[in-house]
Structure 1
Amino acid sequence: MRTIKRWKRSLYKKLVKYKVIAPKVIVLMDGGICSQMFQYLIGRIFEEKGYKVVFDLTFYKEWGSDMNNHFVRNFDLLKAFPNLKMEIASDLMITVYKQKYFNLGNNTYGKVDDFSFLQRKPPIYLGGYYHLPSRIWLPTFKSIFKILASGFDDSNQRMCSEIGQRHASVAVHVRRGDLKNEIPAYGKPASVEYFRLAISYLFENVESPFFYFFSDEPEWVCTDLIPCLNLALSEDCKVVDINGSDKGYMDLFLISHCTHQITSKGTLGKYGALLNDNIRKIVVLCDDEIEYPWKDIFCNPIFL
C-alpha cells in the first residue's frame, strides 16, 4: 500500500513538473472565521492573476482548535458567505505541494513586510499567515464579503433585531482564549484599562450608548471585566453568549450590525467594523505598534 502511495506521489510530481497537469496555487486554510476570510482573499488575489487556486482544509480535520487546544475552530467560511466559490485540494495534491513547493507566510511574527510571495507563480503552496498592504486586499474584501439576512439562525435574528432598535449600539470585542497572554504576533492583550478608556470615550462622544460584549470567555467578562467598567448589566450593557466558539461567524455578523465597535487583539471586532457600512461609526483600537496598520484601513480610528 505504501509503495502504491509513493508511486502515485512520484508520478504526480512529474506530471506537475512537466505541466502535464496544470500547476496550481494551494492556500492553507486554518484558524477562525476571520483567518479564513483573509486566506480566501489571498486566493482571490492569485486568481485575479489568472492562476488556478485551490484550498487545503486539512487543519479542520487534523487540529480544528485554537493555539491552546481549548476552543474549537471549524471551517465556517461557506456557512457565513455561501455565495463564495472555492475548490478543495485533494490529499495527493496537498502532500506533493507541501513537500516540493511550500512557502512559509511572511507574518509569523507580525512585523515582516515582505510581499515578494505575490510575485510567485504556481506551483506553490502558501502556508502560514501573510501580511498584505491594505490597498491590495481591502477593495476585494468589501466587494466579496456581504452578509445575507438568511445567514442568521432564530436566536441571532432576534439579537440582531434588538441591536437594530438601539440608535447607539456599541459592539465590544473581548478576545481572550489563546490571546489572553502576550504572544509575538499579537502583542499584549487588551487591558482592563483599555476597555475602561474606550467605554468612557463612547459615553463622552455618543448619546446614550448601549454596549454589547462579545467574547470567547463571556463568564470572565461578566465576573471580572464589567464590574471594573462602571456599567450595569441590562441597563448599560449585555453579554452576548448565545454563540460559542463553534459559531464565531454569528458573533461577527452581530458585531457588524452594531453602530460602533470597540476592538481588541485579533480581527473579529475589526472585521465586524469593516462589514459595517456606517460612515459615522466610531472604531476604537489598542494604542500599540502592532495595531497601527489599521490606521490606513479605518477612517479616523481612535487609539486608546
Structure 2
Amino acid sequence: MPNERLKKYLNDIVWWIPSRKLRDFIRELVDTILEIKEQNNILLNINSNLKVKYIVIPICNGFVDQLYCYTLGCSIEAFYDKKVIYDISWYNMYGKDGTGKYNRNFELLNIFNDLSFKIATDNEILIAKQFLVDASNYKNVNIINLFRNIQNEIFYLDNGFGLKMMGLSFNEIFDLDKYILPKLDNDNKKIYEDIKNCKHSVACHVRRNDYLLVNHRLYNLDENYFIKAIEKINKQIRQKLKIYFFSDDMDWVKEKLIPLVKDKYDYLAVDINDNDKGYFDFYLISNCKYQIASEGRFCETAHIFNKYQNKILITPNDIK
C-alpha cells in the first residue's frame, strides 16, 4: 500500500511537467526503484530467517550434463532430505556449444516426461543466488560432507559435476529402453537391430568441434588414439569386431579413420542423427558391447547404461 500512495503522489507531481516523455521517464524510473526495493525486502526477510525452503541446481549444456545435474538433485533429496528445484534459464540465454555453432537443447523432460522436476522461477533463482555455493571448491567430496560445511540452508549450488553422488545410479533414474527406444525412427531402428545382432559391437565416439578449442582440449586425440583403442579391444576379445563410428565431425572420421580400419574390421559410420538428436546416438552407443570414448563424458556415460556383462571401456587415459 505505501508504494501505491507514493505512485499517486508522483502522478500529482509530474502532472505539472510539460514534457510527456519526461513524465513517462520519471514514472518508469520510480517503478524500477520500487521494484528493486521490493526485491531487497524479500532478500532481507530471507536473510533474517534461514528456514530451509529449497536448493537450486542449474542445468546447462548437452544431454549428458542434464543427466548428471538431475541425478545430483535426486541424490541431494534422498540423502539430505531437502527440496531441489532446477534453473534452466541457460537454454534461453545462450543454449549453444563452445563454438556457438550447435544448439544445446533442454531435452530432459521431452524424453523422460514423467520425472519429478520443478523449474525454478526467476525470483527463486534471485533469492538462492544470494547464497551461492561453488561446488568446484569441493571436488571429490560427497554431498553429505559438503552440506555439513554449509551454514546457509537455502542456496544455489553451482558447478556440481565434481561432487560424489551417494547411492543413486543413472540406471535407477533413467530407463533408456522405456523412453528412447520407442522414439527411434526407422533409420535408427535399423542400426539398433544391427547392433543388437552383432556379437562384438564397438562404439567409437569421436568428438571434435568444440573440443578442438584450446580451453577445452585435454588430449591430442588424433587417428592414432582411436586405432590403438580398437586394437586394444581386438587383443582382449580375439573375435571379429564391428566398429560403429559416432561423431560430430563425420567427414574427419571418413577421411582419417575409416581408411585405416576398412581392410581389417567391419564398420558402419552412423551419420543419420544431427546435433538435435544426439540422444539417439547416446542410446545406440550404450547398446554396443564395447565403447571407445573421446574427450568429454558422452561415451563414458553411455557405457554406464551398457548392460553387457563383459563390457569394455577405453578412454584417453588407457592409451599411452
- TM-score normalised by L of structure 2: 0.79
Aligned to 1:266: 296
For residue 129 of structure 1, report the CA deviation from its aligned partner.
4.4
What's the offset of the Cα at 1:22? 5.0
Q: 2:174 maps to which residue?
A: 145
Q: Distance in 2 between matches of 1:243 and 1:214?
A: 9
Paired residues for 1:183-262 under 5 Å: 183=215, 187-206=218-237, 207-227=239-259, 229-231=260-262, 236-262=266-292
**Residues 210 and 52 of structure 1: CA distance in aligned 2, closer, same or farther (over 3 Å):** same
The question of whether the paired residues in 2 share the 8 Å contact of 1:31 and 1:73 is answered with yes
CA deviation string 1:108-140 (max 9, x = no partner): xxx94455544335311012343123xx35633
C-alpha spacing 1:60/1:92, structure 2 compared with 1 (3 Å):
same
Equivalent position to 2:190, from 142, 155, 158: 158
CA distance in 1, matches of 2:193, 2:35: 54
1:23 aligns with 2:56: no
Alignment of 1:1-304 (within 5 A): 1-19=31-49, 23-48=53-78, 49-98=80-129, 100-106=130-136, 112-114=139-141, 117-119=146-148, 120=150, 122-133=153-164, 136-137=165-166, 139-147=168-176, 148=178, 149-183=181-215, 187-206=218-237, 207-227=239-259, 229-231=260-262, 236-287=266-317, 303=319
Deviations 1:12-42 (A, max 9, x none): 3234334498521000101111111111122
Q: Secondary structure at the match of 1:280?
A: coil
Q: Give the 3-state SS of the residue equivalent to 2:161 in structure 1.
A: coil
The structure-2 alpha-carbon separation of the partners of 1:280 and 1:32, relative to structure 1 and needing over 3 Å to count, comes to same
Contact 1:102 1:126 in 2 (8 A): yes
4+ residue segments displaced more than 6 Å: none
Contact 1:262 1:283 in 2 (8 A): yes
CA distance in 2 between counterparts of 1:55 and 1:17 reads 21
CA distance in 2, matches of 1:118, 1:24: 13
Secondary structure in 2 matching 1:214: strand
**Does the 8 Å contact 1:182/1:188 carry over to 2?**
no
Cα separation, partners in 2 of 1:278 and 1:197, compared to 1, 3 Å: same
- Given that 1:15 and 1:21 are in contact with CA atoms closer than 8 Å, whether structure 2 keeps it comes out as no
CA 188–153 in structure 1, closer or farther in 2 if over 3 Å, else same: same
C-alpha distance 213-41 of structure 1, shift in aligned 2 (>3 A): same
Q: RMSD between aligned alpha carbons?
A: 2.5
| Cα distance between partner residues in 2 of 1:249 and 1:137 | 25
CA contact (8 A) 1:55 1:86 kept: yes
The structure whose Rg is larger is: 2
Match of 2:13 in 1: none
Give the distance between the partners of 1:274 and 1:63, measured in 2 at CA.
29
- One-letter amino acid of the structure 1 residue matched with residue 175 of structure 2: K
- Larger % of helix: which? 2
User: Can you list the C-alpha shifts for 1:202-229, whole angstroms capped at 9, x where unaligned?
Assistant: 33333111111111111221123323x3
Q: Percent identity?
A: 27
Task: Report the Cα distance in structure 2 between the residues aligned to 1:3 and 1:102, rounded to whole angstroms.
Answer: 25
Aligned partner letter, 1:162:
D
Q: SS of 2:104's equivalent?
A: coil
Distance 1:5 1:167, change over 3 A: farther
Aligned-pair distance for 1:86?
A: 0.8
Alpha-carbon distance in 1 for matches of 2:52, 2:41: 14
TM-score, normalised to structure 1, is 0.83
Residue number in structure 1 paired with 2:12? none
Cα deviation code 1:160-188 (max 9, x no counterpart): 1121121111111111121124536x612
